[in-house]
Homo-oligomer: A and B are copies of this chain.
Amino acid sequence: MGSMKVHQLARGFVGARSRSHAWLQTASSDPDSGPRKLASSDEKKDSPQGETHPGGTRWNPTQEQIGILEMLYRGGMRTPNGQQIEDITAQLSRYGKIEGKNVFYWFQNHKARERQKQKRNSLGLSHSPRTPSPITLISLDTTRGEVEKDEDSPYKRKCRSWSFECFELEESRSWREEEEGDRTLELFPLHPEGR
């Protein structure tokens, strides 16, 4: 009762003049005069399609990759953490270009869509008569029992972080790896510390 919400903070911390919003220009919210797509055909790069990856828009998994991922999924992997993602990515990259986020997204999407399909099946079985029902259940593991219910895992909230770990090295990394040239980004002009 009477939670007075003593939350106001003394925001007198910093001067923060007006010249800040420069970095605020995130999205190029320019007047979209139509559904334009990155029209700049300037070949950002030298078309790194030397391997199996396309121009570079979106990850296109190969069969080997998918196979491994599905295997992992069936094995019970649901939400790999950063390290696992890293490892998986490392392995899958042998079959084609891939990034960690692809692995992460794949698991997310696969899980969600499997569940979706399942729900759809159990709900209205009238539509698709030829429902797949393909995924045979691998009865691997007999000693452990409990493979985490491959089917559905509603909630657990285990705090298994996932990828943000990568950010940690931010503090120790010295961005100026190599020629970085002059990035005219210059965010945060608050402290002229010069990075």
Please give the distance in Å from A73's CB to the nearest CB on chain B: 11
Contact digits for A154-173, partner B, Cβ 8 Å, 1 yes 0 no: 11101111011111111100
Say if the beta carbon of A33 comes within 8 Å of chain B: yes
CB contact under 8 A between A183 and B180, given known A167-B100, A190-B86? yes
Question: Does A57 lie within 8 Å of B87, measured CB to CB?
Answer: no
Question: 1/0 contact trace for A41-74 toward B, CB 8 Å?
Answer: 0001100100000001100000110111011100
A11 touches B181 (CB 8 A): no
Any chain B CB within 8 A of the CB of A130?
Answer: no
Given contacts A28-B176, A188-B87, contact A93 B160 (CB under 8 A): no
Q: How far is the CA of A167 from the CA of B138 in the complex (A)?
A: 31
- The chain B residue with its CB closest to the CB of A84 is B27
Bound form: Cα–Cα A8–B89 in Å: 23
Asked whether A24 lies within 8 Å of B176 as measured between CB atoms, the reply is: no
Question: Which residues of chain B come closer than 8 Å to A82, judged between CB atoms?
Answer: 193
Binding site for B on A (CB under 8 A): 4-18, 20-21, 23-24, 26-29, 33, 35, 38, 40, 44-45, 48, 56-57, 63-64, 66-68, 70-72, 75-91, 93-94, 99-101, 104, 135-136, 138, 140-141, 143-144, 146-149, 152-156, 158-161, 163-171, 174-183, 185, 187-193, 195
